Every structure is written in structure tokens, then in C-alpha cells.
């Protein structure tokens, strides 16, 4: 797998800062055509195989692209943790996709262990998953319903964005 170059890392860092101050929330229009989530399988940081199809079959899935150096990503995860506790009985799963390079694997594992996140964490070495989701800035969040359709997509994070995410979660879990 190819490691992220220093120049690319700087670009992602700048994009992270820019988009953190101007978060974009894209929700599907009621009755509109919802795009299908890209399919993939990957090993998590504990070397277990993770399939998006298996996660979607359990219930709503949040796929969140992040990096250890991204402050807005950490703020977003604090908000998501609260939603996981609130919607745990609805089988909400979070797949945290790290955009840190392969040389940062130990730092990612240390961060996850220290924060005790209730998420499945994977490394996106080579950015293949980010490319499938067309991720251009961090954090990038995708809410996927159990039908496999992307219900909501956000780029960047500002406090309060979690309210829209919770509204969408309420809607897709109302009949469960």
C-alpha cells in the first residue's frame, strides 16, 4: 500500500481546517433517489475482516473518514459517541476509516485505545475507500440505512451538526 506523501497530508490538513469552519450537510430529498453506498471489505486495526454488507445488515451504519491530526474529526467523534449510546438499541454501528498513512498505524491504535471509542476502526491505506466515497476533506461522514442507501453525507464538522444526524437517525430507526 502507498503511504500518503507529506504534500498530500498538508493538503488534507488544510482542507480539514477549511471545511471544519464551513460544514456541509447533504441529506437526501424526501422521496428522492438515494445513492447506494459503495461496497468493500477491509481488515480492522485488530486484523478482523470487516464487510460493509455485514455491517449494513445489522442496522444503520455511520462511515466516518478521519485522521489523528484532525481536530474537527475528534470533536465529531465525541458527538457520535453520544449518539451510539442513545441509538445502541437500534443496532447503530460506526465504521471509523482512518486516513492516516501506514506509518501512523501505531498512533491510530494508541488513539483508539486511549479514547475507548465504541467504533470499528480501519486504516484506509492507499485511500481506496475514500476514493469510492469521493472523500475530498476530513471529516467526512456518511449515514447509511439498512437498505444500503446513503441517507446523509457531511463534510467538515461544527458543533450542532450532530442534531441533523440525530434527526436522520430518528427517521430511519422509527420503524425498528
What's the grid cell of residue 59?
442496522
Which pLDDT does position 23 carry in this prediction? 43
Spans of all domains in the chain: 6-173
Q: What CATH number belongs to 6-173?
A: 3.40.30.10
- Which of 93, 71, 77, 96 lies closest to 12 in space, CA to CA? 71
Name the residue with higher pLDDT: 9 or 168.
168
Give yes or no for a contact between 75 and 157, defined as CB atoms under 8 angstroms apart: yes
Cα–Cα distance, 128 to 1 (Å, whole number): 10
Q: What is the pLDDT of residues 79-116, one digit of tens each?
A: 999 999 999 889 999 999 999 999 999 999 999 999 99
Give yes or no for a contact between 109 and 47, defined as CB atoms under 8 angstroms apart: no
Name the residue with higher pLDDT: 20 or 61.
61
Cα–Cα distance, 27 to 57 (Å, whole number): 21
Burial class (CB in 10 A: 0-12, 13-18, 19+), 55: buried
Which pLDDT does position 175 carry in this prediction? 61
Q: What is the pLDDT of residues 14-54, one digit of tens each?
A: 555 444 433 444 444 444 578 999 999 999 999 999 999 99
Cα–Cα distance, 41 to 54 (Å, whole number): 9
Cα–Cα distance, 112 to 45 (Å, whole number): 9
Amino acid at each position: 500500500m502507498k503511504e500518503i506523501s507529506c504534500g498530500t497530508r498538508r493538503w488534507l490538513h488544510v482542507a480539514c481546517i477549511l471545511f471544519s469552519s464551513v460544514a456541509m450537510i447533504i441529506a437526501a430529498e424526501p422521496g428522492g433517489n438515494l445513492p447506494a453506498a459503495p461496497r468493500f471489505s477491509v481488515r480492522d486495526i485488530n486484523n478482523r475482516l470487516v464487510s460493509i454488507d455485514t455491517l449494513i445488515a445489522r442496522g444503520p451504519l455511520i462511515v466516518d473518514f478521519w485522521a489523528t491530526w484532525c481536530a474537527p474529526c475528534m470533536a465529531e467523534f465525541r458527538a457520535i459517541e453520544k449518539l451510539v449510546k442513545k441509538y445502541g438499541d437500534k443496532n447503530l454501528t460506526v465504521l471509523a476509516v482512518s486516513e492516516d498513512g501506514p506509518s501512523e498505524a501505531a498512533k491510530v491504535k494508541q488513539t483508539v485505545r486511549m479514547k475507548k471509542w465504541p467504533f470499528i476502526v480501519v486504516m484506509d491505506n492507499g485511500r481506496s475507500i475514500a476514493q469510492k466515497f469521493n472523500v475530498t476533506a476530513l471529516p467526512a461522514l456518511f449515514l447509511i440505512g439498512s437498505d444500503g442507501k446513503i441517507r446523509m453525507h457531511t463534510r467538515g464538522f461544527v458543533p450542532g451538526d450532530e442534531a441533523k444526524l440525530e434527526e436522520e437517525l430518528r427517521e430511519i430507526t422509527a420503524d425498528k
